[in-house]
């Protein structure tokens, strides 16, 4: 499973809207640009997945090892570069034929930023996984845990792709959506893995709503997955 966090076919319409807004603003059509921005926001609310607006992830703590300097800057670059490049073009004697290419280019950059979101989360999870391997040993990968992990590989892979590792936790609804499955079935698998210590679950603010449970791969779970790959 390597699907991006935001499916590109759902990100296309908002990306087109943002590009249209930038283009119109730089062409001096301020009112039309603002209308395009408002319409884009409405379309985004309708078509983008729930987690874009409500997250579905929880990070209990952060450290300098979680984020590189590039990680802090990268989320803002697509929009900033797209808008600033348009400002430069607007100040130059730019032929009108250039603006359609600008529109297409900005659309592509915004789409790329949506696709990159999932890769950033997974990268942070991989960094935490490397630290977890330093804290655990081969003895933690018992036969019981290995068998449980083997039976639920897809779920564990989904957690890893979301970066839900050792203190970074995913809501059950977010995990189920990522796996394209229903919450109750995912919940049963999570319980099986929790019983052997491969995943951790927090229900602190969930009440009776299992979709709000927070799930993470534990350091022991990271070790188990590593040994499972080496089998």
- What is the Cα 144 distance to its own chain's centre? 31
Any residues with CB less than 8 A from the CB of 110 and at least 6 apart, and which?
11, 14, 15, 18, 19, 78, 79, 82
Which residues, in sequence order, are bridge partners of residue 58? 169
Q: What is the mean pLDDT of the chain?
A: 83
How far apart are the two ends of the chain, measured CA to CA in Å? 21
- pLDDT tens-place string over residues 93-125: 767 778 888 899 888 888 887 776 666 767 777
Q: Which residues contact 99 (CB under 8 A, 6 or more apart)?
A: 23, 26, 27, 89
pLDDT tens readout for residues 31-59: 998 999 999 888 888 877 665 655 676 76
Segments making up each domain of the chain, as ranges: 8-50+66-119, 134-229
Pick the CATH number of 134-229 from 1.10.10.10, 3.40.50.300, 3.30.450.20, 3.40.50.2300: 1.10.10.10
Can you tell me which residue has the tokens 């807004």?
A: 21
Most confident segment among 84-98, 111-125, 187-201: 187-201
State the DSSP string of 37-55: HHHHHHHHHHHS-THHHH-
């Amino acid at each position: 499973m390597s699907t991006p966090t935001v499916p590109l076919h759902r990100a296309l319409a908002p990306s087109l809207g943002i590009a249209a807004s930038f283009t119109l603003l730089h062409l001096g059509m301020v009112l039309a640009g603002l209308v395009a921005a408002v319409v884009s926001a409405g379309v985004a609310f309708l078509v983008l997945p729930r987690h874009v607006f409500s997250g579905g992830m929880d990070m209990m703590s952060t450290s300098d090892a979680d984020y590189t300097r590039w990680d802090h800057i990268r989320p803002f670059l697509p929009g900033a570069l797209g808008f600033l490049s348009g400002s430069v073009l607007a100040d130059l004697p730019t032929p009108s034929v250039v603006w359609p290419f600008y529109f297409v280019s900005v659309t592509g950059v915004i789409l790329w930023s949506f696709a990159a979101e999932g890769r950033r989360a997974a990268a942070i999870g991989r960094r935490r996984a490397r630290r977890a391997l330093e804290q655990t040993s081969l003895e933690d990968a018992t036969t019981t845990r290995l068998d449980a992990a083997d039976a639920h590989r897809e779920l564990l892979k989904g957690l890893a792709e979301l970066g839900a590792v050792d203190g970074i936790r995913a809501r059950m609804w977010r995990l189920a959506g990522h796996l394209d499955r229903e919450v109750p079935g995912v919940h049963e698998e999570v319980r099986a893995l929790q019983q052997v210590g491969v995943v951790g679950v927090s229900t602190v603010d969930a009440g009776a709503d299992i979709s709000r449970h927070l799930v993470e791969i534990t350091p022991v779970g990271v070790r188990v997955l590593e040994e499972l790959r080496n089998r």
